[in-house]
Structure 1
Amino acid sequence: MNAAGVDNEGYTLEHGSDQSFRPVFPGADHPRDAPVGELTPVTECDSEALSTLHSDGNVMIAALFTLFNDYCMKIYDFRCEDKKTIEFKLRSYQSSLAFIFAIEEINRNTHILPNTSLGFELYNVKSNQLDILQETFHCLTGMGINIPNYTCRRENKAAALLTGTAWETSARVGRLLNLYNYPQLTFGRFDTVLSDRGQFSSLYQTAPRDTFLSHGIVILMVHFSWTWVGLVLIDDHNGAEILSDLRGEMDRNRVCVAFVEMIPDNWINSGYKSRTSHRQILKSSANVIFIYDVTISLYGIILYISIHSITWKVWIIKSQWDVSTDVPFFIFDPFHGSLIFAQHHAEISDFRKFIQSYKPSTYPEDHILALLWKRYFNCSFSGPDCKSLVNCLPNASLEMLPGNALEMDMTEESYNVYNSVYAVAHSLHEMTLKHVEIHPHGNEEVNTYHWELHPYLKTIHYKNGAGKIMVLDSQRKLDAEYDILNLWNFPDGLRQKIKVGTFSPNAPQGQELFLSDHMIQWAIGFTELPRSVCSESCVPGFRKSPQEGKAACCYDCIHCPDNEISNETDMDHCVRCPESHYANTEQNHCLQKAVTFLSYEDTLGKALTYLALGFSALTAVVLGVFVKHHHTPIVKANNQALTYILLITLIFCFLCPLLFIGHPNTVTCVLQQSTFAVLFTVALSTVLAKTIIVVLAFKITFPGRLIRWIMISRATNFIIPVCTLIQLVLCGIWLSTSPPFIDSDAYTEHGYIIIICNKGSTIAFHSVLAYLCSMALGSYTMAYLSRNLPDTFNEAKFITFSMLVFFSVWVTFLPVYHSTKGQHMVAMEVFSILASSVGLLGCIFSPKCYIILFRPHRNVLYHVRNKVPSRGKVGLTA
């Protein structure tokens, strides 16, 4: 294209206000749409050369192809006022060569139609309904004559008619041929509408069914993790059918549709839609776009894509579109790296040789071939008959056309044309054999009528030239397999389609798709495997959270909750770890929890153990001091027996926490609470007995008979066994109904399973604590009443304070205990046991030890008599 915007083919690209381009023919007053392709001015010889290609034979086969289109440069009053231009359809031309090749191959084959030669009539049809029907009438009535219901043919009538790739063409022709019961074979892709025998009873489709095409395309998307894909389809029944199939497959495989552009099946109405669709493609975040069933209606959007060089998109294309020739070439090929689904077919080895040898010198009747030679190899017509070519490039062949304009191997349409010819030939062969069976001695020439061919076409089961079994019956057709091709554009602009994989729907599940990923060249805008997603993948440790009002592929990534993991990409839900495991920091793996308990090796366990042993040793020392000074007044005044019982009990109270430390077992779990309850009951009952004795000794001025009997008979000594017995009954009920047992706590401490002793009945546990607190409260009350007695050797104040400490410890213990978990609960109970025991030891015995050890002059009977009134002597000597 030059600076003025005029390209080398003789038409301009008009730049409009909508920032888009459209073709404009030179000399036209107004821009008009024109298809993309090679445009060549038509000379007088060219016009004469553009005629129907014909070859004589005993039996004729006709075919309709869109080999070229001619366009008028200026039109006034429906008349062409200026020269015409030609647009060659090289892909269709290759199909016509396959048609000729098949007929020649059959004529050489002595096993098919011996003694019968096949001829052909090859018609060019343009992309309009009038021209299609006109050429069909030419076939029915006779070449050059267009009279309905009349034929000038006397012999060599066409046994069948082959129609092209567009379903509309086959449908229009089919409705006409149905009137005459005329066999029609279509070599386009299989169409469900055309398989309706009610409408098209004379029509047969050669192509295999595309039943699993949608499945193959979606499997390809899943293979590359493309979950955000745009769709561009023709707005007709084929587009609706493929859209329905694609949506179903995409939903099943969790692939989302980014947008759907339905282009009207009308060249005039599709222009504006192509521009709006082009904008949709540009603004969409989808990097992968599927284009299906490309017809002339989609050429507008293809032109927009080419002009704007959208090189950052990956196109998935159905091979019905000739991307190598129908798209103009620009500096950056927007379709480089495209993936093409082509129906797999057998290779016809001799076809390449046929094309290489197909030249004007060997096929002078092919006028299209002469025009191609003139266009590409600088030839010119000479002579008045416009048949001779001069000044041609030496050794020129179709293989030398620039940019691989003509494929040397059969395309899927060419292969279908080839099979269609073979289907007619084999049907004719079967019909001839049947006629010979009926008339074994008949020497008359067999007169073939086209309607007689239908029974054989319906049941035909034949091998083509490649040895492949073929059928025409739509009910017996096999599903197509596909070759996946990658469009390469080399630096010199040479487009090639390279096979990079296959899709076989009949293969075992999971093995349908085979791809050589390393062979794929992606679009220019990508340096690595393209990504096409609405949202980036959620890495392990996160889960997907759908975005409201958007497709399922659009989501946010949310961190997994505590102790839940996601160990794969894009998980919808996090998975909770089992109780024996915990989530790691990244929350993508469950780790085995370590078993733990309040052990002697832990710092806390060691500290509590040392405290328990230390205080028990200290209590033993205090006991030793009292035993050594048992003859002193202060020891005698505090009731030696109760003092010894209390100190011995406190020694065991300090050792009791050792049952709480270490690996729990059934024995220790049972002994922990019962031992603690009984020991503290003995200790508190001893304190209560001492308190009652002090009160009786100092508060009763004139003791009655009962009080005197209590003092003389020492009935206070029964306080300890009675109180202990009550506690034993409570513990017995506890152990018999719901005893403590070994339990595990897997939730309190992250990464650990804590082995603890479950107390069983919480009611029994709190009842035991309530009983101890009631005894402490009773001792506190009795001691409080005697708080104003003489100070010397008086325990009332010390007992009052010790019970206050004891009561405070265990009242504080309850809320703190229930607010802690795991081994800290155990440590809290141990600490409370030690604190309350220290309170008893310190408050009651530390003042006495201080006098015994450091103030011995106060520990004499004279000092006591001077300080204690006579009414207290009974208590002091008790």
Structure 2
Amino acid sequence: MLFSWILISCFLQIPVLVCSYSSNECLVRMNYRLIGKGNVVITGFIPAYAIYPLNKTIDWRMTKFNRDFMVEFKLRNYQCILAMMFAIEEINSNPYFLPNMTLGFIVQNVPEGQRYTLAYLIGTFSGPGYAITNYRCAREGMPTAVLTGPSWAISEYIGTLLDLYKYPQLTFGPFDTTLSEQRKFSSLYQVAPKDTSLTLGIVSLMLHFHWNWIGLFIIDDDKGAQILSDLRSEMEKNGVCIAFVEMILTVRGSFMTTSWKNQVQILESSANVIIIYGDTDSLLSLIVNIKEKLLTWKVWVMNSHWDNSKFDNYFLLDSLHGALIFSHHKEEIINFTDFIQLANPFKYPQDIILHVLWHSFFNCSFLRKDCKIVDNCLPNASLGFLPGNMFDMTMSEESYNVYKAVYAVAHSLHEMMLNQVQFQSHGKGKEMEFFPWQLHPFLRKTKLINHAGDLVVLDQKRQSHVQYDILNFWNFPKGLGIKAKVGTFSPNAPEGQKLSLSSHMIQWATGLTEIPQSVCSESCDLGFRKTHQEGRAACCFDCTPCPENEISNETATGSMTSSKIIEPVPSREILMLDLAINVNLKTYFAKAIYDDTNMLNQMMP
């Protein structure tokens, strides 16, 4: 049965996955390297695509097949490359920022495997065309700073080598405590804020909708362990119970061997709300199984570090439709969407990825030898024509971090110039030289407001608590791929005002018209009391009738106790009324006796 299902799923996805040999071959036989000229260069190591041999991979759903290999496009990461180009063009167009200096860039694809990545990194130090350890063979193209991400693993093994040479390294992926060890990564700066309030925000959402029976899928690493510990603590404090916990291995593809067990766990659980914490690579197979096989009408609460473009398929319904996503708040970057709309192979002829995308999606003629398209394309084609679930035009968190990282480097360079740090120039328009370690004192003190009006601080000790946007994933009909903002969580706001939510805007899972419930046991009616189910969580109980001469004093959130009926205690108003009546009666009778006495006196002679 499982094998038949895999064959059917594969057959349904062939139209999406097949790509012509001529265009895909370019990404395999050519080392993707994108260069923008400038006399100060920022280098980015960004995995824009990955290549796998067919007989060594099991992640066949998310790739484009091609003979003995397949190519997986990582379009969310490719947006990071566009964000880097956009920020540098924006800075270079400002005459008051970095005068007499032009920023350039080198973008290098990160291949699968640590060995090949480090080989490319050594080549970057030696100069284009060289890869000799501890030797610099060319003056041009030497990086001032290096951007790495979004995976913490990429940043870690690149950072180990960069730290030897004291090259400034800025990571744009999610914050990771492993990378914050100063003794091991003294030259590394994490642009992303630390998730100090994420668990508080998630639990606040649970309490808002009265959900107290929750399932958890958590990445199985140090960060996942910390999140699980924080969630347990915050949930217990607020009376929210955990239905099940499933730790997901971070090894690529390893989840496939246990997926059916987890599917049964989801189907059998009475928890209608499930929290998923992790990134795209670690939760790859989990989300694929949820989207393709589990139409369970659950509510998924997620962090934003997953790439929806990887999980495309031919099913009309999407199990993740209606998911609620916690995303770091970011200001709108003016003109970024317009920049993406105008990005095409004719504007950036060096970018092979744009040529391949245009050939694959817009039916352009393609020259196999040069790996470039020619005419006969769809008129006015742009990345905006791609489905929203394949390429998101809205700036992602990682792209926003890239944007901030470029501005942090540029601001530090500007401060270096103002402080008269010595630069060595090789003539007009030539590269300007200085030692990369000279940038560190200025990067550590970086505190600036970027063009979006957002504060950029690289020192984690000086960062304030991050604010979250709550997004609702709309993907019905399939391919819509919209993440609509429906609320915010501000940890610094006054108590009772931290969570702001527009519930009427939320689209729930397909088939649900009302706010779903997720409780282990329904509240007891009047005349019944809660009896805890032995061996189960505190949220699980039975409702038993109250004994004779007793009534239940509990509410939906009250304790599981009952109290005997007692004589009612008169209220203050009743006591005052009784007192008034007594006083009036006494006055009435006293007056009556007085009147009768006078009458008798008058009748006597």
Q: Structures share a fold, TM > 0.5?
A: yes
Post-superposition Cα deviations, 1:430-488, rounded to whole Å, max 9, x if no partner, equal: 1122225999xxx9996311111111111111121213221100101122111111111
Q: Deviation of residue 39 (structure 1)?
A: 5.7
Query: Within 2, Cα distance between the matches of 1:308 and 1:347?
Result: 36
Does the 8 A contact of 2:312 with 2:390 survive in 1? no
The one-letter code sitting in structure 2 at the alignment partner of 1:499 is K
Does the 8 A contact of 2:39 with 2:432 survive in 1? no
The one-letter code sitting in structure 1 at the alignment partner of 2:553 is S
Does residue 1:416 correspond to 2:397, yes or no? no
Query: Within 1, Cα distance between the matches of 2:415 and 2:229?
Result: 41
Tell me the residue number matched to 2:592.
none
The one-letter code sitting in structure 2 at the alignment partner of 1:60 is V
Residues 24-173 of structure 1: pairs in structure 2 closer than 5 A: 40-43=19-22, 44-47=25-28, 51-73=32-54, 82-173=67-158
The one-letter code sitting in structure 2 at the alignment partner of 1:571 is G
The one-letter code sitting in structure 2 at the alignment partner of 1:494 is L
Tell me the residue number matched to 1:358.
343
Aligned residue for 2:460, secondary structure, equals: coil
Q: 1:128 to 1:257 in 2, by over 3 A?
A: farther
Q: Deviation of residue 70 (structure 1)?
A: 2.1
Residues 603-752 of structure 1: pairs in structure 2 closer than 5 A: none
Q: 1:523 aligns with which of 505, 509, 520?
A: 509
Does residue 1:346 correspond to 2:331, yes or no? yes
Tell me the residue number matched to 1:395.
380
Aligned residue for 1:430, secondary structure, equals: helix
Q: Deviation of residue 250 (structure 1)?
A: 0.7
Tell me the residue number matched to 1:746.
none
Tell me the residue number matched to 2:556.
569
Q: 1:448 aligns with which of 423, 434, 455?
A: 434
Post-superposition Cα deviations, 1:156-188, rounded to whole Å, max 9, x if no partner, equal: 410111111211111111112111111110011
Query: Within 1, Cα distance between the matches of 2:53 and 2:444?
Result: 43
The one-letter code sitting in structure 2 at the alignment partner of 1:220 is L
Q: 2:499 aligns with which of 483, 503, 513?
A: 513
Q: 2:204 aligns with which of 199, 219, 234?
A: 219
Does residue 1:269 correspond to 2:254, yes or no? yes
Tell me the residue number matched to 1:581.
568
Q: 1:446 to 1:147 in 2, by over 3 A?
A: closer
Does the 8 A contact of 2:106 with 2:141 survive in 1? no
Query: Within 2, Cα distance between the matches of 1:176 and 1:117?
Result: 27
Tell me the residue number matched to 2:276.
291
Tell me the residue number matched to 2:537.
551
Query: Within 2, Cα distance between the matches of 1:300 and 1:384?
Result: 36
Aligned residue for 1:475, secondary structure, equals: helix
Q: 1:451 to 1:257 in 2, by over 3 A?
A: same
Q: 1:245 aligns with which of 230, 241, 250?
A: 230
Q: Deviation of residue 84 (structure 1)?
A: 3.0
Post-superposition Cα deviations, 1:298-337, rounded to whole Å, max 9, x if no partner, equal: 2112222222132411111111112354343512111111
Q: Deviation of residue 144 (structure 1)?
A: 4.1
Post-superposition Cα deviations, 1:495-542, rounded to whole Å, max 9, x if no partner, equal: 211111111111111111111111111112423211111111223443
Does the 8 A contact of 1:209 with 1:478 survive in 2? no
Does the 8 A contact of 1:124 with 1:135 survive in 2? no
Q: Deviation of residue 87 (structure 1)?
A: 1.7
Q: Deviation of residue 20 (structure 1)?
A: 6.5
Q: 1:469 to 1:262 in 2, by over 3 A?
A: same
Does the 8 A contact of 1:379 with 1:390 survive in 2? yes
Q: Deviation of residue 285 (structure 1)?
A: 1.4
Does the 8 A contact of 1:334 with 1:523 survive in 2? yes
Q: 1:180 to 1:273 in 2, by over 3 A?
A: farther
Structure with greater Cα Rg: 1
User: For structure 1, which runs of at least 5 residues remain unmatched after alignment?
Assistant: 1-14, 27-33, 583-591, 594-878
Q: Deviation of residue 493 (structure 1)?
A: 3.5
Query: Within 2, Cα distance between the matches of 1:485 and 1:376?
Result: 29
Query: Within 2, Cα distance between the matches of 1:140 and 1:56?
Result: 17
Q: Deviation of residue 552 (structure 1)?
A: 0.9
Does the 8 A contact of 2:531 with 2:542 survive in 1? yes
Query: Within 2, Cα distance between the matches of 1:49 and 1:132?
Result: 15
Q: 2:522 aligns with which of 504, 528, 536?
A: 536
Q: 1:276 to 1:438 in 2, by over 3 A?
A: closer
Query: Within 2, Cα distance between the matches of 1:138 and 1:24?
Result: 42
Post-superposition Cα deviations, 1:784-827, rounded to whole Å, max 9, x if no partner, equal: xxxxxxxxxxxxxxxxxxxxxxxxxxxxxxxxxxxxxxxxxxxx
Query: Within 2, Cα distance between the matches of 1:268 and 1:438?
Result: 49
Does the 8 A contact of 2:75 with 2:309 survive in 1? no
Tell me the residue number matched to 1:484.
470
TM-score by length of 2: 0.85
User: For structure 2, which runs of at least 5 residues remain unmatched after alignment?
Assistant: 58-64, 576-605
Query: Within 1, Cα distance between the matches of 2:546 and 2:184?
Result: 60
Does the 8 A contact of 2:127 with 2:139 survive in 1? no
Aligned residue for 2:374, secondary structure, equals: strand
Instruction: Report 1 or 2 for greater relative contact order, CA contacts < 8 Å, sequence distance ≥ 6.
Output: 2
Post-superposition Cα deviations, 1:89-118, rounded to whole Å, max 9, x if no partner, equal: 111111111011001111111222111111
Quote the sequence identity (%).
49
Query: Within 2, Cα distance between the matches of 1:382 and 1:324?
Result: 27
Q: 1:571 to 1:39 in 2, by over 3 A?
A: farther
Query: Within 2, Cα distance between the matches of 1:204 and 1:38?
Result: 37
Aligned residue for 2:474, secondary structure, equals: strand
Tell me the residue number matched to 2:584.
none
| Number of equivalent positions | 560
Query: Within 1, Cα distance between the matches of 2:374 and 2:566?
Result: 90
TM-score by length of 1: 0.60
Post-superposition Cα deviations, 1:741-781, rounded to whole Å, max 9, x if no partner, equal: xxxxxxxxxxxxxxxxxxxxxxxxxxxxxxxxxxxxxxxxx
Does the 8 A contact of 2:18 with 2:66 survive in 1? no
Post-superposition Cα deviations, 1:388-446, rounded to whole Å, max 9, x if no partner, equal: 4221100111110124422222111110000000111111111122225999xxx9996
Aligned residue for 1:297, secondary structure, equals: coil
After superposing on structure 2, the runs of 4+ consecutive aligned residues of structure 1 that deviate more than 6 Å are 22-26
Query: Within 2, Cα distance between the matches of 1:576 and 1:483?
Result: 45
Does the 8 A contact of 2:20 with 2:360 survive in 1? no
Post-superposition Cα deviations, 1:659-699, rounded to whole Å, max 9, x if no partner, equal: xxxxxxxxxxxxxxxxxxxxxxxxxxxxxxxxxxxxxxxxx
Q: Deviation of residue 153 (structure 1)?
A: 2.6
The one-letter code sitting in structure 2 at the alignment partner of 1:568 is T
Q: 1:316 to 1:558 in 2, by over 3 A?
A: same
The one-letter code sitting in structure 2 at the alignment partner of 1:40 is C
Deviates more, 1:215-224 or 1:405-414: 405-414
Q: Deviation of residue 234 (structure 1)?
A: 1.3
Query: Within 1, Cα distance between the matches of 2:163 and 2:173?
Result: 19
Tell me the residue number matched to 2:583.
none
Q: 2:452 aligns with which of 466, 475, 492?
A: 466
Deviates more, 1:557-566 or 1:153-162: 557-566
Q: Deviation of residue 71 (structure 1)?
A: 2.7
